[in-house]
Amino acid sequence: MQNFDYHNPTHIVFGQDRLAELDQLVPAQANVLVLYGGGSVERFGTLDAVLAQLGSRRVTTFGGIEPNPQFDTLMKAVEIVREQEIDFLLALGGGSVMDGTKFVAAAAPYQGDAESLLSHGFAPLPIERSIPLGVVATLPATGSEMNMGAVVSHNGGKFPVMSPLNFPKFSILDPSLTFTLPRKQVANGVVDAFVHILEQYVTYPVNAPVQDRTAEGLLQTLIEVGPVTLEQPENYDARASLVWTATWALNGFIGAGVPQDWATHMIGHELTALFGIDHAQTLAIVQPSLWKLRKQQKREKLLQYAQRVWHINAGSDDQRIDAAIDKTREFFQSLGVATRLSEYGVERERIDDVVNALQTHGMTALSETGDLDLAISRQILEDAY
């Protein structure tokens, strides 16, 4: 196992009917900005329920954070925070709202050029202060509710924004708030969480059985509850397991002390930025083809994945790896998520644009071994078409 630090300060408040606890969770004297998305929380009553719990605190609202939150939109919230001396942010929504809120938290007190906060990649932001934030999560997928990461879209790119100051102080995870999700978003959530686990698990072995066994358990849980919660949207137990698995998929625990890949995410980000394909859909396109091209580098872990997650025991090493790749693709498809770039109406010639965008964004040495270059990215995209 590699050396690691692990510190996760987010207080998880899990379960049904816990919004009333906002009154204890948000400081009594706080001047609060409640941030949300395109209106689902208005339509389904969550916004009103939250506002009711904030009582006599000074509260301002900021709606309209779009999926794949845009820098320009978030800067409007930054202005409000500065003008009104807001000192607590409450994110009410999915990954886009949580991520957008994290960016606002970091950018509002920042003295320098806020745009430069998009240029630090996976390194922590050079900031000393961030506005404390809380979350009421409405979509299980990204893990943003219990991590320090965010992804912000700007000028045709998607940029990671990381800071340990941006862990939510608390996240309320009420599975019943997610019952209203359209089928497509539930399926996307299962795929996103699944690939988060894969990117931290299917690399190379470093004798980390705690992380491995946890990853395998989380993957198996998704295989089990994904289809159930799609078919029975109000099955509380299935939804609760999906919510908690998505959180665990990216709260840092299974990634501590092990190599991490993230190439599928980085290539996928360009597909979203260029063609507007949903985040999880891009992962379903890239992951199976990436494995086909990277069998050698990931051999041992792919074999372990085949055996422990899919119970594939027959055939040669290559046959078992291929069967595991097929099973993964079939799983995504069974959820209704298409796994071919051509199925999203993208023309083959546009692969050039994706490769150029990867180059522009410095994504030229991806993966756990840093040797996934532009030529291999092109092959992956060709294979995925």
CB 143 within 8 Å of CB 194: no
Q: How far is the CB of 32 from ligand NZQ (least distance, A)?
A: 19
CB 164 within 8 Å of CB 124: yes
Q: How far is the CB of 153 from ligand NZQ (least distance, A)?
A: 7
The number of residues that bind Zn ion (CB under 5 A) is 1
Interface map 200-239 toward ligand NZQ (x if CB under 6 A): ----------------------------------------
At 7 the three-state DSSP class reads: coil
Cβ neighbours of 122 (radius 10 Å) = 10
Query: Pick from 67, 168, 175, 252: which binds ligand NZQ (CB under 6 A)?
Result: 67
Q: How far is the CB of 14 from ligand NZQ (least distance, A)?
A: 16
The number of residues that bind ligand NZQ (CB under 6 A) is 34
Q: Which two tokens stand for residue 95?
A: 């990954």
Query: Pick from 139, 225, 277, 337: which binds ligand NZQ (CB under 6 A)?
Result: 139
CB 156 within 8 Å of CB 263: no
| Alpha-carbon distances of 317 from 200, 302, 334, rounded to whole Å | 22, 9, 25
C-alpha to C-alpha distance for 260 and 215, rounded to whole angstroms: 13
Interface map 99-138 toward ligand NZQ (x if CB under 6 A): x--------------------------------------x
At 85 the three-state DSSP class reads: coil
CB 200 within 8 Å of CB 212: no
C-alpha to C-alpha distance for 281 and 273, rounded to whole angstroms: 13
Cα Rg of the chain, angstroms: 20
Interface map 247-286 toward Zn ion (x if CB under 5 A): ----------------------------------------
C-alpha to C-alpha distance for 221 and 223, rounded to whole angstroms: 5
The angle at the Cα of 258, spanning 116 to 130, to the nearest 5 degrees, equals: 30
Q: Of the listed pieces 148-156, 226-234, 315-323, 332-340, which binds ligand NZQ according to CB under 6 A?
A: 148-156
Q: Which of residues 132 and 157 has its CB atom nearest to ligand NZQ in the complex?
A: 157
What single letter denotes the amino acid at residue 232? Q
For the segment 188-227, give every residue that binds Zn ion (CB under 5 A).
Answer: 192
DSSP 8-state secondary structure symbol assigned to residue 124? B
Q: How far is the CB of 368 from ligand NZQ (least distance, A)?
A: 17
Q: Which of residues 149 and 288 has its CB atom nearest to ligand NZQ in the complex?
A: 149
Query: Pick from 47, 105, 141, 173: which binds ligand NZQ (CB under 6 A)?
Result: 141
Contact positions toward Zn ion, by CB under 5 A?
A: 192
Contact positions toward ligand NZQ, by CB under 6 A?
A: 37-41, 67-68, 93-97, 99, 138-139, 141-144, 147, 149-151, 158, 177-178, 180-181, 185, 188, 192, 250, 265, 279
